[in-house]
Structure 1
């Protein structure tokens, strides 16, 4: 898949969770493509500052900005704070995510609310503020980072999976509600980087079990973002960048420790 050049007059992009992992790759790619970049973080301030400095060193414009997306008052002001610092916001990448394990019999109010607030409510609140603040005559884009689990359901990570499934529904709902000035799409990654509960061998085994037998590079996710930004006729769509992981699930058995 070759990404055409993104449209001109790019403006500023907000990348939530932009200091580490997939968010880092997306932020750097957007900076290289000519966007001013707000590298959002909650606790990874040093990482976000490093990403912003890298974009600046390559001739781009960027800054790190803190907000706890589980706190709605902080979420509500992120877009306006970015506009004040970097100019018109034309692109919102909802990448930040809470990913903690629970099962049907262990879900509690804390795990449920934590996932729903960060993974679903915050992207909605940010999208509201983004749409309200988009300048006249500008084209806007929202891209939500999902998970291949929304197509490949499992009995594990219940609150997380439900929050991401809700975000997929929100993606399509907003695509209808915000057209024609704002396009809304999603990317569903598969095995990109080891989680905190995996070692290298476990992650490699998971990646090799996909139909394509390989992990997904963070830069491939960033390339997908640039493609969606440039493809002006696409809205309400999800691209699965997961080496085909969404196509199958292993036979039922004990809950895996390597998801």
Structure 2
């Protein structure tokens, strides 16, 4: 079990799905957790209450993490409420399902801003403090679409491939500062995005079922707990990645 007592974690997009499972797992390991959300205040507060009922510390903090000013305010508020951020999980993202013919410039720009630019903004906002303390864990939630065709569209592929590039770039430059940077690339996890039409059946998954948010959280916790692993992307696909 990863031991995070005395640590503070920020999970972007932490109000539901994979982010919710990660936030609760971090709290179970002893971390104080900031649950970021853009919409869904009630859902974020439910995650906070779940953590608090189990004896943990948590706050819900609204912010659009694709906006620099809001990210700065988010990190400042977390610092005031819980303390400096030791663990950052860049989970916030959108999946606008578009065909090549339907895809617009607005769709592309929005996807890159939410899925990729947010990782840059949040990482830049926390690494100074992590460097000062010589300890930090950054985990980016990518997707199998970073390397495969995916079902959402090329804009989504590009955003997640860029995220993995940021992961490697930051890992190489922060490795001497006690900061690890890794990614998890899930495919077809049973979340709202999948239920909304991305995949109606798990038939093409070799394991025969969708993954769960809790299984994603297990991999995140492994990365947070491993001080020797950095610059890596862990695929979580029920066997699809080696077909």
- TM-score, normalised to structure 1's length? 0.87
Shift in Å, 1:195: 4.0
Residue 173 (structure 2) pairs with residue 177 (structure 1)? yes
Shift in Å, 1:80: 2.1
Q: Tell me the distance in 1 between the aligned counterparts of 2:118 and 2:196.
A: 30
Contact kept, 8 Å, 2:188 with 2:194, in 1: the verdict is no
Question: Within 5 Å, which residues of 2 pair with 1:62-141?
Answer: 62-134=58-130, 136-141=132-137
* Deviation digits for residues 175-234 of structure 1 (CA, Å, limit 9, x no counterpart): 01111221000001111115457469x53x2x2311222211111111111111111100
Give the stretch that moved more between structures: 7-16 or 89-98.
7-16
Give the stretch that moved more between structures: 41-50 or 150-159.
150-159
Give the unaligned 5+ runs of structure 1: 249-259
Contact kept, 8 Å, 2:65 with 2:122, in 1: the verdict is no
* Deviation digits for residues 13-33 of structure 1 (CA, Å, limit 9, x no counterpart): 000111101111000010110
Q: Tell me the distance in 1 between the aligned counterparts of 2:100 and 2:151.
A: 8
Q: Tell me the distance in 1 between the aligned counterparts of 2:222 and 2:54.
A: 21
Q: Tell me the distance in 1 between the aligned counterparts of 2:211 and 2:54.
A: 25
Residue 86 of structure 2 aligns to a residue whose secondary structure is strand
Shift in Å, 1:50: 0.6
Residue 135 (structure 2) pairs with residue 148 (structure 1)? no
Contact kept, 8 Å, 2:3 with 2:30, in 1: the verdict is no
Give the unaligned 5+ runs of structure 2: none
Contact kept, 8 Å, 1:93 with 1:143, in 2: the verdict is yes
Q: Tell me the distance in 1 between the aligned counterparts of 2:91 and 2:228.
A: 22
Q: Tell me the distance in 2 between the aligned counterparts of 1:99 and 1:88.
A: 31
- TM-score, normalised to structure 2's length? 0.92
Partner of 2:210: 215
Q: 1:55 to 1:139 in 2, by over 3 A?
A: same
Deviation above 3 Å: which 4+ runs of structure 1? 7-10, 194-200
Q: Tell me the distance in 1 between the aligned counterparts of 2:196 and 2:36.
A: 27
Q: Tell me the distance in 1 between the aligned counterparts of 2:134 and 2:52.
A: 25
Partner of 1:251: none
Q: 1:62 to 1:164 in 2, by over 3 A?
A: same
Q: Alignment length, in residue pairs?
A: 242
Which of 1 and 2 has greater Rg?
A: 1
